Structure 1
C-alpha cells in the first residue's frame, strides 16, 4: 500500500502500532514532571504513572499520540493548546 500511495504522490510510512513506547523516557527527555507532561498534553497524571510503572499499557491510540509527542513535542503541544 505504501508503494501505491507513493505513486500517487503521497509519502506514507509504515508504523508498528504494537511497538512499545517508553513514556518515562519521552517525559524525561522533555524535562517535564508527570504533572507538567499531563497538563501540556491533556493526559491524566495517574495514567502516566501507571504507564511508567508498568501497571497499565497505553492502548493503540495512546501509543500513537505518545510517538507524536516524542517526535514533534512542540507541534503536538501547540495543536493540543489550539484545540482547547
Structure 2
C-alpha cells in the first residue's frame, strides 16, 4: 500500500477542506437541539437492540414463550426487549451474541 502525503495550505481558499467542522452551524446549535439529537440517537440504539433480539429468536425458530423458557428469563423480559422498552445488557447481551453466532453450542450449554 502506498502512502501519499498531502499538505493543506489554510491560506489558499481554492483548497477544499474535507472533514472540517462548520463552526457557524455548531455555534448556532442550541442545548435543546443537542439533547434532542442525543435522545434520537438513544432511541435508534434501542431499536437496533430490539431488532437484534427479535432476529436471534426468530432465527432459532422459537416463540417468545419458548425462547424465554430456553434462556431462563421471563416472557415479559423478552417482550420488553423486542418492543424496545428495555435493552439486554451484560450477560443477556453476551448470550444473545453467542446464540446468534453459535446457536447449537449455546442451546446445548443451556439445556
- Common fold: TM-score over 0.5: yes
- Could you say what the CA RMSD is over the residues aligned between the two structures, in angstroms? 1.7
Structure 2 residues not aligned, in runs of 5+: 1-47
The structure 1 residue matched to 2:82, chosen from 45, 52, 58, is 52
Structure 1 residues not aligned, in runs of 5+: 1-19
TM-score by length of 1: 0.66
Q: C-alpha distance in 1, partners of 2:71/2:107?
A: 6
Which protein has greater RCO, CA pairs closer than 8 Å, 6+ apart? Answer: 1
Kindly report structure 1 stretches of 4+ aligned residues shifted beyond 6 Å.
none
Name the count of aligned residue pairs.
63
Partner of 1:71: 101
Larger Rg, first or second structure (1 or 2): 2
